């Protein structure tokens, strides 16, 4: 509830400082509202906070200080405060950290930045000239609008001194106006395409959901190229028509450019953007305009969920299965799940779009919690690629070679036909391991329990955990033998070398996130490839994410077995999704595509499911296995990682926690560990994991809070809790 406080009233202020409670302050001169962004004194400093409600009154009133000032920003709405509170409760994140997510606007504490604008005044000119008349007519033509000096002079076709002369006589009025202008209005209009019957039905269902003004989540499943984007843009149109705001989350900044172009084609203007590649000025404008209602559509990364929308009616989570929606450091949250929470509070609709949904979303749709819409065919001529295994046990390959003769012949045929082939290997760098042929030593990171990966392009060995790099050594660091170090296994850079040797005349393009300094460079490369600027594309999972390559007709997966190793509970799911996504890159336009999977285990149930495309059968089998094991989405997990430079200290604390498990047993949960984490040391900190497993409905957050509250970690020790962990490193 929004409440007004008079000057001097006690109010509780939540700050972004790591304190475990709100602090009481006196409302400033002129009073303030709940949700107001304020500046308050804290010790010798001034910090930013939000008025959270009436003061607690548990502190000596005489010592309570006053709020310094109310900031120039729309107060945080109740809905947003509830979202932050519930998201914090769910992820066991202290409120100050949640507030930090919601105040990531550059210059939030600054006074509004102003600029001069010009509009019609009521004075009369001392003498009329042609130039003067044009200025006055231009301002008349545009009704009451105001323009900057440069704009007005350009539109009237006069020099700026003419405008200034009119200002001096009061014919034109100069005013100050905030720099952060609203975004151009988007016109919901009509789709420029004739939607197919299936697309039209799905679009109508989503639009009806938006019009209902109530919460609902829909899983929009459809093969790559079936028109999911086209369909959810109709839901965006429905939100615009209803005068509500929409948010589209994309898993990868590199995808935004293509999407913005589509939005512009459909709605006549560009939406607001929110991600790390956006300038400070634009971020500030976006943050403010979302709150004031001057932005009707935002396209962004997961953190856009924490913008304070004035009236959010729709959230689209595109490629909802993508693991990058899980934030893996700082506040550990899953943007897909938080989108559902946010929408349920705001009375908004969620659309989860994917060709290969997460098992979580699939199970929620099965259980009737989410609606489900399906697009079964690719648009137009495009057909799904034919998928086959290449049984590597039957292929002859000399050492340090990974492209089988069968795959080689297929690639050659594509190049000769003027088409593109993609070789997919989900491994960055040149070689994952560097071994000494003299002593067998494998070069590892000094700070981490990880082997260094050779990046030949950078001429360095790189730790993929901590980012430490060293020059590629001449001699073995262990036995000092010279010239005996050898790369073992392939990365994409090594695949490029092999492909160049096999196809010397072909033009190669390597797509790997570490090879691009900026999102812009990556985007340029992707556009060049799409336009036919390469014959062979060699890429990591970066290429699996929704880019359109119309000339691409062959996808060769170098090692389809790669993701099936390891103990991750989602290994099968991830492999299934990734392989289907990558295969979906082939045959997007008129030409049919083929996907070939190099595998040593073509009989493996996951490989067979990928090849047959029997998706429902795969999900059903996978769901049955997880249900039997009581793991997500049919049970709950929380991962606890303890880390410290002192190995004894982490194990001691881990053991104490494991013994003090009464609060967990009280809800029927079990704790496993402590065990060294799969990566037992990162940046010099030793890491120990505990895993808590509970039944689906168990109140796991409260139990975890009570359990962890029993121990007081020392100053060097870090403890992080990951609810619904996605990775287990
Ligand atoms: P998805 O999001 O499922 O991968 P898209 O919405 O990107 O699919 O559609 C794939 C391509 O087909 C796009 O270029 C899109 O513009 C085009 N397309 C989809 N539906 C239609 C339609 N009904 N008429 C014309 N073009 C369409
Ligand atoms: Zn390291």
- In SS3 terms, 422-463 reads as EEECCCCCCECEEEECCCCCECECCCCCCECEEECCCCEEEC
Q: 25 with 127, same domain?
A: no
397 and 525 inside one domain: yes
Question: Whose atoms come closest to the Cα of 447: which ligand?
Answer: 2
Pairing mode, strands 685-695 and 670-682: antiparallel
pLDDT at residue 603 greater than cutoff 60 = yes
Three-class SS string for 367-388?
CCCCEEEEECCCCCCCCCCEEE
**CATH code of 155's domain:** 1.10.10
* Ligand 1 first shell, C-beta below 6 A: 193-196, 199, 222, 224-230, 379
Residue whose CA is at the smallest distance from ligand 1 atom 6: 227
Write down the number of H helices and E strands in the chain. Answer: 20, 31
Q: Could you say which ligand is closest to the alpha carbon of residue 226?
A: 1
Confidence of residue 144 (pLDDT cuts 50, 70, 90): low
Domain count, the chain: 5
| Cα–Cα distance measured from residue 604 to residue 414, given in angstroms and rounded to the nearest whole number | 29
Q: Which pair of structure tokens corresponds to residue 385?
A: 């690629």
- Measured in Å, residue 454 CA sits from the centre of ligand 2 at 13
Residues 6+ apart with CB under 8 A from 604: 561, 564
Q: Which two tokens stand for residue 520?
A: 């812009």
So what's the pLDDT on residue 458? 84
Q: How far apart are CA 425 and CA 538, in angstroms?
A: 8
pLDDT at 113: 67
Among 345, 510, 301, which Cα is nearest to 422's?
Answer: 510
- In the DSSP assignment, the letter for residue 261 is H
Confidence of residue 128 (pLDDT cuts 50, 70, 90): confident
User: How many other C-beta atoms can be found within 10 angstroms of the C-beta atom of residue 698?
Assistant: 18
The residues pairing with 538 across neighbouring beta strands, listed in sequence order, are 423, 510
Nearest to 605 by CA among 584, 583, 587, 624: 624
Q: Are residues 525 and 598 in the same domain?
A: yes
Distance 68 CA to ligand 1 centre (A): 53
Domain holding 540, by residue range, is 386-427+490-622
The reply to whether 46 falls in a domain is yes
Q: Is residue 447 part of a domain?
A: no
pLDDT surpasses 60 at 521: yes
Which element (helix H / strand E) includes 316? strand 312-318
- 263-292 tens-digit pLDDT: 999 999 999 999 988 877 788 889 999 999
> 341 and 236 share a domain?
yes
* β pairing state of 420-424 and 552-557: parallel
Residue 684: nearest ligand to its CA?
A: 2
CATH number at 527 reads 3.40.50.300
Residue 91 falls inside a structural domain: no
Encoded tokens for 590: 């008129």
Query: Domain check: are 77 and 121 in the same one?
Result: no
If asked whether residues 604 and 650 sit together in one domain, one would say no
Q: Are residues 216 and 344 in the same domain?
A: yes
What CATH number is associated with residue 686? Answer: 3.30.70.600
Residue 26 covered by a domain = yes
Residues 549 and 576 in one domain: yes
Contact of 237 with 207, CB cutoff 8 Å? yes
450 found inside a domain: no
**Burial label, 124 (beta-carbon count in 10 A; 0-12, 13-18, 19+):** exposed
Which ranges constitute the DSSP H helices of 103-188?
Answer: 130-141, 149-156, 160-168
- pLDDT of amino acid 380: 64
**Same domain? 654 vs 719:** yes
Mean model confidence pLDDT for the chain = 89
In this structure, the dihedral spanned by the alpha carbons of residues 616, 622, 623 and 629, taken in order and rounded to 10 degrees, is: 170
Beta bridge partners of 687: 643
Residues 67, 125, single domain; the answer is no
pLDDT at 328 over 90: no
**Atom 5 of ligand 1, residue of closest alpha carbon:** 227
Q: CA dist 594 to 285, 387, 551, 559, 726, Å?
A: 46, 6, 12, 16, 31
Q: Residue 312 has what DSSP assignment?
A: E
299, HSE (Cβ side, Cα atoms, 13 Å) = 26
Q: Whose CA is nearest to atom 25 of ligand 1?
A: 193
Closest ligand 1 atom number to CA of residue 224: 4
Do 398 and 504 sit in the same domain of this protein?
Answer: yes
Residue-wise pLDDT for 355-388, tens only, equals 889 999 999 999 999 999 999 877 665 567 888 9
Of the residues 375, 408, 441, which one is the last residue of a structural domain?
375
For the segment 424-443, the average pLDDT, to the nearest whole number, is: 92
pTM for this entry: 0.84
Residue whose C-alpha is closest to residue 497's, from 412, 400, 422, 585: 400
Considering the domain boundaries, does residue 90 fall inside one? no
Task: Assess whether 138 and 12 both reside in one domain.
Answer: no
CA 675 to centroid of ligand 2, rounded, Å: 20
């Amino acid at each position: 509830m929004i409440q007004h406080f008079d000057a001097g009233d006690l109010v509780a202020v939540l700050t972004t400082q790591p304190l475990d409670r709100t602090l009481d302050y006196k409302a400033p001169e002129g009073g303030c509202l709940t949700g107001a962004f304020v500046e308050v004194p804290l010790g010798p400093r001034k910090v930013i906070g939000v008025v959270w409600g009436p003061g607690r009154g548990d502190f000596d009133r005489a010592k309570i200080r006053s709020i310094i000032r109310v900031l120039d920003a729309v107060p945080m709405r109740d809905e947003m405060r509830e979202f932050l509170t519930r998201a914090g409760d769910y992820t066991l994140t202290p409120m100050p950290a949640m507030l930090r997510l919601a105040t990531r606007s550059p210059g939030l504490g600054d006074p509004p930045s102003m600029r001069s604008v010009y509009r019609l005044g009521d004075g009369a000119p001392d003498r009329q000239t042609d130039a003067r008349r044009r200025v006055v007519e231009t301002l008349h033509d545009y009704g009451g609008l105001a323009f900057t000096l440069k704009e007005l002079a350009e539109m009237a076709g006069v020099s700026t001194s003419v405008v200034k002369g009119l200002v001096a006589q009061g014919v034109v009025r100069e005013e100050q106006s905030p720099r952060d202008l609203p975004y151009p209005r988007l016109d919901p209009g009509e789709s420029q395409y004739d939607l197919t019957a299936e697309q039209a039905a799905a679009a109508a269902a989503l639009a009806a959901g938006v019009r209902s003004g109530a919460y609902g989540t829909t899983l929009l499943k459809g093969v790559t190229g079936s028109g999911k984007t086209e369909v959810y843009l109709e839901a965006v149109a429905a939100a615009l028509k209803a005068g509500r705001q929409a948010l589209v989350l994309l898993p990868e900044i590199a995808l935004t450019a293509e999407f913005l172009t589509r939005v512009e084609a459909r709605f006549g203007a560009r939406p607001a953007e929110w991600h790390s590649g956006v300038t400070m000025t634009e971020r500030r404008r976006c943050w403010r305009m979302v709150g004031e209602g001057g932005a009707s559509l935002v396209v962004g990364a997961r953190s856009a969920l924490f913008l304070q929308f004035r009236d959010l009616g729709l959230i689209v989570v595109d490629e909802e299965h993508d693991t990058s929606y899980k934030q893996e450091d700082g506040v550990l949250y899953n943007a897909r799940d938080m989108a559902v929470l946010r929408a349920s509070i705001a009375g908004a609709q969620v659309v989860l779009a994917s060709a290969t949904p997460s098992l979580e979303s699939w199970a929620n749709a099965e259980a009737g919690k989410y609606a489900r819409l399906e697009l079964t065919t690719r648009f137009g001529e495009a057909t799904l690629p034919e998928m086959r295994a290449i049984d590597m046990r039957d292929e002859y390959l000399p050492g340090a070679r990974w492209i089988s003769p069968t795959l080689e012949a297929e690639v050659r045929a594509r190049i000769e036909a003027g088409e593109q082939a993609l070789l997919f290997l989900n491994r960055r760098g040149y070689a994952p391991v560097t071994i000494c042929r003299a002593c067998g030593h494998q070069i590892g990171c000094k700070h981490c329990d990880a082997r260094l990966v050779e990046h030949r392009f950078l001429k360095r060995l790189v730790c993929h955990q901590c980012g430490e790099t060293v020059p590629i050594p001449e001699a073995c660091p262990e036995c000092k033998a010279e010239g005996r170090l050898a790369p073992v296994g392939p990365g994409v850079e090594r695949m490029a070398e092999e492909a160049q040797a096999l196809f010397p005349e072909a033009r190669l393009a390597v797509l790997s996130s570490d090879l691009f300094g900026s999102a812009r460079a990556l985007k340029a490369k992707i556009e060049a490839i799409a336009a036919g600027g390469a014959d062979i594309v060699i890429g990591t999972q970066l290429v699996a994410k929704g880019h359109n390559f119309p000339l691409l007709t062959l996808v060769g997966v170098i090692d389809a077995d790669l993701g099936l190793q390891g103990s991750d509970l989602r290994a099968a799911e991830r492999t299934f999704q990734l392989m289907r996504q990558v295969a979906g890159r082939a045959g997007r336009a008129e030409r049919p595509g083929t996907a070939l999977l190099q595998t040593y285990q073509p009989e493996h149930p996951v490989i067979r499911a990928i090849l047959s495309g029997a998706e429902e059968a795969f999900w059903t089998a996978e769901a049955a296995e997880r249900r039997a094991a009581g793991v997500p989405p049919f049970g709950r997990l929380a991962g606890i990682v303890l880390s410290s430079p002192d190995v004894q200290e982490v194990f001691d604390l881990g053991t104490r926690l494991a013994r003090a498990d009464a609060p967990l047993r009280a809800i029927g949960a079990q704790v496993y560990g402590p065990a060294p984490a799969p990566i037992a040391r990162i940046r010099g900190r030793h890491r120990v994991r505990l895993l808590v497993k509970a039944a689906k409905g168990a109140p796991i957050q409260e139990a975890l809070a009570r359990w962890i509250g029993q121990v007081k970690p020392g100053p060097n020790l870090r403890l992080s809790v990951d609810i619904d962990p996605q990775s287990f490193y």
